[in-house]
Amino acid sequence: MNYKKFIVEVLQLSKLERIIELEEQVEISINEAKDKTQQILDLKKVEAEKEINLLKASYQEQIDQIQQSTQDELNRISKALEAKKLELNQKIDSDYKEVVEKYILELKKEVLSS
């Protein structure tokens, strides 16, 4: 009987060893899958960051172009307004001189007629 019991125990032990071996293989497979998944995630993250950086650069270039064209337009408008201001100041001076001359002529006429 002991021999049969021994054989049963050996068989059970053998089954347990196979189960443990399978569990270890499953754990190894799980860890390998986790590592592979992490590698894929890291690769995708790097690819996404590259794409984001390309988009940022593209948008920054567009923003810079818009800022430059806006600044150019502001400069053009400022120059036009400055020229208009100068023109108006000259007209005011001219009109003022004309009014003063007319007033002086009127005063002279008045003085001469009195």
Where are the chain's structural domains? 1-81
Amino acid present at 32: E
Q: How confident is the model at residue 89 (pLDDT cuts 50, 70, 90)?
A: very high
pLDDT mean over 46-54: 98
Amino acid present at 76: R
The confidence score (pLDDT) of residue 84 equals 98
The confidence score (pLDDT) of residue 1 equals 59
Q: Has residue 106 got a pLDDT over 70?
A: yes
The answer to whether the pTM exceeds 0.85 is no
Query: 67 vs 9, 56, 64, 72, CA distance in Å?
Result: 84, 16, 5, 8
Query: 50 vs 16, 45, 98, CA distance in Å?
Result: 50, 9, 71
